[in-house]
Amino acid sequence: MEEKNKLIDLITQDYISIIFSYALRRTNIREDAEDLAQDILSELISAVANIRNPKAYNGFIWAVANNTYKRWLKKRKKNRAGYLEDYLGLEIFNVEEYERIEDGVIYKEELNRLRWELSLLSKTYRDIVILYYVEEKSCGEIAKELELTVDNVKYFLYKARNIMKDGINMNRELGEKSYKPAEFSISYWGEYSAKYYNLSKRKLPGNILLTAMAKSISISEISIETGVPVAYLEDEVNILEEEGFLKNVKADKYQTSIIIFTKKMNKDVDAVFKEYAKELSPKLYEKLLSKEEEIKKLFSVKNGGSIEKLLWDILPIMLSATIADSLHPAYLPALPLLSNGNHGWLWGSEETNKPWDWSVTIKSITQNAGFGGKYAVLIDFTILNTENQKQIGKEEVKLLSKMFEDGIEISSLDEREKEVAARMIENNYAINVNGVFKFRGSIFNHNQGEEGKEILRDVFTLYDECIKVVNSEILKLILSSLPKHLQEQAADIAYVKTISGMMSAVMEEMVNRGYLHVPASSDMYPIGCYIRI
């Protein structure tokens, strides 16, 4: 008995630090090591009574220590999930069967709550929680796998548990966009690029941008509003940040970095265009009629005497040029460089169909860089359901660059050009007249264009005076609706909106008043397509 008492004294006095070191090497966490060491000491003191040979105490001590560690490890793995359950105030782990149906329902609800809170954690927090509680890895193993310190892993675990607990206690509710996603479309003005329009084909990018527009917001907050787990949002947010649509402003908070027109903003802006177009269109048309004979004389050979076709084809681009001349350089700085290497302006809209943005769109394609030589202008009118920009590309423009007033001999074309010519004839942009390929759109040369501007000088002056007032009103409207961080873009976007909005509003008002007519058949002639030779 005396020898066993001496052994107890030896263990409690000389082996405490040794046993603690043993425990710490196996747990890598001081708190866990203290728990394990306490269990080993308790087991040793209890087992001393059963030792047969007290002199062989060293082997006895380490045998008990190893067996206690194995039991502790098994118990720890079994209870780890249960610890999180107790901490969060849930009852979802280690439940194998339910005596009542409602118990099963409660279990599923609790499990969904936990999964939802877990889905809201950012990647580092989420990974550590899964590795620790689901895959049952130690903090040391997690630290090595994620290239963190053990202390950092412990900190993240502590923070993650508190975040999840707070979320469960507040009973989060999903935002409106989780069940009713907003409409969204992207608009682009600048060097030609179809890249950005793909954003409008998917609901998620636009709704992320709308959610983060008014104030900076975390991915978790975006997740709550959209109902999309953080794990799926992280890639989307990174892509939007790389493309320049989102900006990481502070501590994983993101904010939309392009102007987005809400439905109300669009309605207010469109009302301005409509109001001024109603007043301006009859005055413009009166001045156009006063110049009708001069216009016919200048362009009749090319357009069969049809002043209306000429107006459809050329008036929009001339009005657009008037705005550019009028507002440059005060409102027309150098186009900003975008993420895809092009220069232009980007903005969004909380709608898919924006009356003035899309009722008229214009694209110019040149055979060579710059506009010094031949080029084609393609105008698509929603009211006419035209698709010039879809039907005519660089190959067609290359062929048209060879065009003369009287056409071009088809026999002089190479095989590829003949294929392009056949396609243009099939799509009604050209005709074959006794072996001569003739373009059915408007054709004019540089001198005619310049002379046309002089003839219509009064028209453009009237338009110029109006457009300055409109642009000022549009800018005020935009500024009144924007968060502060986007206001520096307002002047540029107001300029672009004024170009497209006022031009198309005038054209549509002319249709509404009967000054211009929608052709009964597209076979009459291709509207909105001309080349300058």
Question: Is there a contact between 451 and 298 (Cβ–Cβ < 8 Å)?
Answer: yes
Task: Say what the pLDDT of residue 340 is.
Answer: 72
Q: Name the band, by pLDDT with cuts 50, 70 and 90, for residue 317.
A: low
Q: Are residues 66 and 136 in the same domain?
A: no
Residue 56 binned pLDDT confidence (cut-offs 50, 70, 90)? low
Q: Which of 268-272, 339-343, 372-376 has the weakest average pLDDT? A: 372-376
Query: For residue 151, is pLDDT > 80?
Result: yes
d(CA 147, CA 477): 51
Average pLDDT over residues 374-400: 71
CA angle, 445 then 286 then 444, to 5°: 5
Instruction: Summarize pLDDT for 177-233 with one digit per residue, the tens.
Output: 877 888 898 888 776 666 677 777 888 999 999 999 988 999 988 988 888 888 889
Structural domains counted in the chain: 4
Does residue 99 surpass a pLDDT of 50?
Answer: no
- Kindly write down the DSSP assignment for every residue of 303-364, as one continuous string: HTT-HHHHHHHHHHHHHHHHHHHHHTTTS--PPPBPTTS-BEEEEEESSS--HHHHHEEEEE
Instruction: Please state whether beta strands 344-349 and 259-261 pair in parallel, antiparallel, or not at all (unpaired).
Output: parallel
Residue 343, number of CB atoms within 10 A of its CB: 12
Extract the tokens encoding 328. Answer: 């440059």
Q: What's the pLDDT score for residue 94?
A: 42
Of 5-19, 221-235, 243-257, give the lowest mean pLDDT range: 5-19
The reply to whether 362 and 284 lie within a common domain is yes
Tokens 């007290």, residue?
A: 54
- Residue 47: CATH number of its domain: 1.10.1740
Place of tokens 């987005």: 260
Per-residue pLDDT at 469 exceeds 90: yes
Whether 395 maps to a domain, the answer reads: yes
Task: Compare 76 and 201 and report the one with higher pLDDT.
Answer: 201
Q: Does 384 map to a domain?
A: yes
Does 315 have pLDDT greater than 50? yes
β-bridge mates for residue 443, sequence order: 531
Give the mean model confidence (pLDDT) for residues 62-86: 68
Tokens, residue 168: 């469960």
> Is there a single domain that holds both residue 446 and residue 507?
yes
pTM for the model stands at: 0.66
- Angle between helical axes of 230-242 and 219-226 (0-180°, round to 10): 120
The reply to whether 74 and 146 lie within a common domain is: no
Q: Which of 88, 119, 143 is the last residue of a domain?
A: 88
**Domain check: are 349 and 495 in the same one?**
yes
Residue 173, C-beta contacts closer than 8 angstroms, at least 6 positions apart: 224
The verdict on 82 and 196 lying in the same domain is no
Asked whether residue 126 is assigned to any structural domain, the reply reads yes
* Structure confidence at residue 444 (pLDDT): 73
Question: Does the residue 196 lie in any domain?
Answer: yes
> 164 and 191, same structural domain?
no
Q: Rank 19-23, 112-116, 333-337, 373-377 by mean pLDDT and report only the highest.
A: 19-23
* Helix (H), strand (E) at residue 190: strand 185-190
Alpha carbons 505 and 319: distance in angstroms, whole number: 11
Question: Using alpha carbons only, how large is the chain's radius of gyration in Å?
Answer: 37
Residue 334 vs residue 179, higher pLDDT: 179
Output the CA angle 391-363-477, nearest 5 degrees.
130
Question: Residue 156 falls within a domain, yes or no?
Answer: yes
Q: In degrees rounded to 5, what are phi and psi of residue 437?
A: -85, 120
Strand partners, 365: 376
> Residue 151 maps to which CATH number?
1.10.10.10
User: What whole-number distance in Å separates Cα of residue 78 and Cα of residue 57?
Assistant: 31
Name the amino acid, one letter, at 132: Y
Query: Is 272 a domain residue?
Result: yes
Position 95 scores a pLDDT of 39
420 in a structural domain:
no
Q: Confidence band (pLDDT; 50, 70, 90) for 96?
A: very low
**Overall average pLDDT of the 416-434 stretch:** 87
Per the CB < 8 A criterion, the answer to whether 428 and 521 are in contact is no
- 187 and 233 inside one domain: yes
Asked whether the predicted pLDDT for residue 369 surpasses 50, the reply is no
Return the pLDDT at 53.
66
- Shared-domain flag, residues 293 and 399: yes
Residue of 490 and 30 predicted with greater confidence: 490
Examine residue 129 and state whether it is found in any structural domain, yes or no.
yes
At a CB cut-off of 8 Å and minimum separation 6, what does 262 contact?
350, 481
Give the pLDDT of residue 374.
Answer: 62
**What is the extent of the structural domain holding 470?**
263-335+342-409+442-532
Q: Mean pLDDT, to the nearest integer, of 343-361?
A: 68
pLDDT surpassing 60 at residue 354: no
Residue in the block written with tokens 């999903």: 174
Considering 216, 241, 257, which residue would you say is the last residue of a domain? 257
- 459 shares its domain with 401: yes
281 and 377 assigned to the same domain: yes
The residue from 172, 198, 232 where one domain ends is 172
* Distances from the Cα of 81 to the Cα of 76, 88, 93, 136, angstroms: 9, 11, 6, 9
Mean pLDDT of 443-450: 75
- Pair (157, 65) in one structural domain: no
